[in-house]
Amino acid sequence: MRNVCVIAGGQSVWGMRQASQRDMFQEAGKAAFEDNPAISNKDIDGLIVGSAFTERCSFQTHLAPLVAESLGIKPVNVCCRVELLCATGSSGIILADAMIRSGKADVIMVIGGEKLYTPQRWEVFYSELGTGDHEFDCSQGLGLPPPFFAAVAKQHMKLYGTTEEQLAMVSVKNRRNGLNNKKGQYQEEITLEQALNSRPIVRPLKLFDCCPVTDGAAAIILAAEEKAKYLTDKPLVYLRGTGQATVHNMSANMPDWTTWEPLKIAAQQAYKKAGVTAKDINVAQTHDCFTISEIIEYEDLGFCEKGEGGFFIQEGKSDFGGTVPVNTDGGLLSCGHPFGGTGIRQGIEIMRQLRGDAVRQVEGARIGLTHNLSGLSAAHTVLIYGRDLE
Amino acid sequence: MTGILEGKYAVTMDMWPLQSKEFTRVYPFYDNLREGRFTTTRCRECGKRSFPPRVICPECLSENMEWVDLPTRGRVLVVTEEEVGVPLGFETPLIHALIDLGGEYKLFVHIINCKIGELKEGV
């Protein structure tokens, strides 16, 4: 088996865009090539494209050849689309890793994104009714996730004493981290007071506890180690371990609302393959779709004991200078969340952190982690990257 | 931008009824519901009761399934009240509750005919 490296990455501007899905895929692809001018579209022998709502919001299927054509890429080993809603991007990276590792391809671009703002503002809310179990959960009005995550938050607060202030602190930290991220949806700090006084969406979740709806795309390029050494002068970043787990889909079959079993399984798989433990992680990008998610992720990734996630944020342990800085580029709460783009954006930030050229750099970071949840916390994806192989 | 689309933008809901005999093999669930019975399927081979109802047992893959009744009373564990961003086709506030149906299933369901603050946890 070969080793796999991440050699370039970039994204379009994320936010409410006056641009089509195809425009943003072009912007993201170009940004990835600009990140590492030694690599060109002629070097790419595989293309994996991710988008969850491409049919619904852009009326476009068979997306990969369209993206290939618009970026001047002529893939010969793989050219297809993947989908796992909010973890679409990370799923593409897992598959690219497997293909390169096994010798089925040498250099793969994984590119993902969404056009979610359509002329009718209700459209995306309605489309979300296709993301859970359409007949048995979504028929109950459960598609847009706030009611589900509010129910998670209420139970976590009751069980472990987590407070609304602790939830708000996650949002304040991530907005601060996203302040200088020029391609994120927001570059504005918020205060704890603002977060706590923002309008309720589903109590206890308020406006700033929820990530926004976002247009955008991101692209990352992976290569076999020997190719990577030839293609780039930048420090090599290895993809060391991956895990993706699911144990249920609809809410009725959720084994535990406050301990996310598939997250623990995916993390253990990734740690095992990478030969590391939670203690070895220097920087992490986790799925902060809601503030409560990030708090549970600290716990179930093993950054702290179960039930202590609220204290982990309160004591600054997930901030710069803490145990493990989390969502150093702003996360979903500040960058936004174009589903297919998110896992890729996280991978790019970890690549930059490990290369040492991040906007907000964690000094000396050698091992980084990304985590996505998808659906109503029904599937979890964990990837571990390292500057070293061991 | 919406001006040029005035009257031209089609609202695409489900394109056919998902609850009818013509389009789903679990249509008895909906027929039973219309008669006031809340049911699901149980596997006659391994005994596994699954929700949502299935045509094939997800445990042993048997097709030998029967319809059984689920409890219609349960304890309210959590209540959520959505005040903003309710999807098309649902009214604001959109109220959900996690209901414990006696241990085997906890269903997170839409509560109708209910005002904000009316449904209490623990009932």
> What average pLDDT does chain A have?
97
pLDDT value at residue A279: 98
Please give the structure tokens belonging to residue A197. 């006084």
Mean pLDDT score, B84-111: 90
pLDDT > 90: percent of chain A: 94
> Is residue A246 pLDDT above 80, yes or no?
yes
Q: Is A59 left (phi over 0), alpha (psi -120 to 50) or beta?
A: left
Q: Rounded distance, CA A91 to CA A85, Å? A: 10
B57-73 pLDDT tens trace: 999 999 999 999 999 99
Q: How many CB pairs below 8 A link A and B?
A: 92
For chain B, say whether A230 makes contact (Cβ under 8 Å). no
pLDDT for B15 beyond 80 = no
Beta bridge partners of A363: none
Residue A342 confidence (pLDDT) above 80:
yes
Partner-chain residue, chosen from A128, A135, A147, that has the shortest CB–CB distance to B82: A147
Q: Which residues of A touch B78 (CB under 8 A)?
A: 151, 154-155
Per-residue pLDDT at A263 exceeds 60: yes
pLDDT at A245: 98
Contacts of B25 in chain A (CB under 8 A): none
Please give, one letter per residue, the 3-state secondary structure of A136-199: CCHHHCCCCCHHHHHHHHHHHHHHHCCCHHHHHHHHHHHHHHCCCCCCCCCCCCCCHHHHHHCC
pLDDT bracket for residue A170 (50, 70, 90): very high
Check whether A97 has a pLDDT greater than 90: yes
Chain B residues with beta carbon closer than 8 angstroms to that of A257: 98
The model's pLDDT over B22-55, given as tens digits with 9 standing for 90+, comes to: 889 999 999 999 999 999 999 999 999 999 999 9
Known active-site residue A337: yes
Contact residues for A305 (Cβ-Cβ < 8 A; gap 6+): A299
Q: What is the mean pLDDT of residues A210-218?
A: 97
Task: Name the pLDDT band for B13 (thresholds 50, 70, 90).
Answer: low
**In the predicted model, is pLDDT for residue B9 greater than 50?**
no
The pLDDT of residue A303 is above 60: yes
Summarize pLDDT for A347-358 with one digit per residue, the tens.
999 999 999 999
Q: Identify the band that residue B109 occupies on the pLDDT scale cut at 50, 70 and 90.
A: very high
Which residues of chain A from 144 to 203 reach within 8 Å of chain B, CB to CB? 144, 146-148, 150-151, 154-155, 199-203
Q: Is A86 a catalytic residue?
A: yes
Mean pLDDT confidence for A337-352:
98
- Which of A5, A156, A304, A337 is labelled catalytic? A337
Q: Report how far residue A382's alpha carbon sits from residue A371's, in angstroms, rounded to the nearest whole number.
A: 5
Whether ipTM > 0.95 holds is no
Q: Per-residue pLDDT for B5 more than 80?
A: no
Q: First and final CA of chain B: distance in angstroms? A: 49
